[in-house]
Amino acid sequence: MPRRFEALGADAFTTRLMLRKVLCVRGEDGARMFYQPGRFRRKTGLPPTALALLQDFGSVTTHEGDMHRQRKAMFMSLFGPHERQRLVDLAAAQWRERFDKWRGMPGVIVHHEAEIVLCRAVCQWAGIPIGPEEATQRAREFSAMVDGAASVGPRNWKALLIRTRTEHWARALIDAVRAGTIQVPLESPLSVIARHRDADGELLRRKHAAVELINLLRPTVAVSRFIAFGVLALHQHPQSRARLAEDDTYLTWFAQEVRRYYPFIPAIGGVASHDFDWHGMRIAKGTWVLIDLYGTDHHPASWGDPETFRPERFERWESSGFDLIPQGGGDHYAGHRCPGEFATLDLVKSALRLFATEIDYAVPPQDLTVSLRRMPTLPASGMVIRDVRPL
């Protein structure tokens, strides 16, 4: 989409995708339109196979109104400052274990290692009784779901089979908590999800509770992609390394610039719930709309010199809620913005500081290109490092 927008010199155009007419939009104003609460349905905004892998039917993303607000409030309650710090501390402990393991290895792929770190940490944080080897297996399963979501054919089919197997595991956990056969703290995310009641006062159906548990774990593992991009940014901008070690404010700017500059999920869709007008355009109920997340994060009206990696741009930045949207726009409680966005930023910051202050390493020749033709995106090599040694 970015090239088409630039060629047209516009922030909206209509085309066909998979034989289906679609309105593509970008920019802060487009995001404001797209993320207006109640304006779009997410349930039919993605192909069914992608929805099944990334969110699944019955999840918070597929609901609107009171059901969405109450379910979203449950997720937001899990990501308060104290709980985010607990997750970051668990991840940091896992990183240090991996750093020790890397010494003497011929090389490691940062993206794969980050998946293991984050899966082990988030399972422990959530209260899930799981050993290191099983957590590594689950990390690969969550990774396959993310990697297969935007594909067609064998990669997608394999991911759907893996998703089915993982849902059985998650349902068994929900059942065990409800039956009292495993004991977890009442405030643990696993317990909160298992005992959550929706707006109708009923416990979540076990299938939907399992879906929401996966929707807590899988996106946390997917933060591995931002971390791989962050280590790539450290390699491409080595002058930032010393400052990351000493300046927490600059560390925040750097992590935010990683989220802005590098693509993750370039676009997301929704279907209009009702007729409305936007900039003289009539958008009819049932219209499929795609918001270009990457194009909005690179829109020149919001970001001066957007194709340059420059963390200092965040020194005077004040979020409108619709200019920086790698994980969605608008309000976290009322809209469809990712409830784990603050945890994502914290995890990326922590990982970058550890890479900058606790280890030294070499970056061998490799393919570091990032293609927008394959979603979600990643450096082609996964970001390989070698000769890891403590500082």
Tens of pLDDT, residue by residue over 17-44, are 878 899 999 999 999 999 998 899 876 6
Query: Which of 9-18, 248-257, 276-285 shows the lowest mean pLDDT across its residues?
Result: 9-18
Closest CA to 187 of 179, 196, 198: 196
**Torsion on CA atoms 33, 146, 164, 328, rounded to nearest 10:** -20
Asked whether 315 and 59 are in contact (CB, 8 A), the reply is no
pTM: 0.93
Tens of pLDDT, residue by residue over 226-247, are 999 999 999 999 999 999 999 9
Q: How many CA atoms lie within 13 A of 299 on its CB side?
A: 26
Tens of pLDDT, residue by residue over 154-184, are 777 787 888 889 999 999 999 999 999 999 9
How far apart, in whole angstroms, are the C-alpha atoms of residue 172 and residue 119?
A: 18
Please say if the pLDDT value at position 97 is more than 90. yes
Helix (H, G, I), strand (E, B) or coil at 268: strand
Instruction: Determine the structural domain holding residue 205 and report its residue range.
Output: 2-390
Tens of pLDDT, residue by residue over 57-67, are 555 555 566 67
Question: In sequence order, which ranges of 128-153 are alpha helices (DSSP H)?
Answer: 132-148
Tens of pLDDT, residue by residue over 258-286, are 999 998 888 888 999 999 999 999 999 99
CATH code of 27's domain? 1.10.630.10
Q: How many domains does the chain have?
A: 1
How far apart, in whole angstroms, are the C-alpha atoms of residue 62 and residue 43?
A: 5
Strand 359-362 relative to strand 288-292, pairing: unpaired
How far apart, in whole angstroms, are the C-alpha atoms of residue 316 and residue 59?
A: 37
Tens of pLDDT, residue by residue over 339-375, are 899 999 999 999 999 999 999 999 999 999 998 888 8
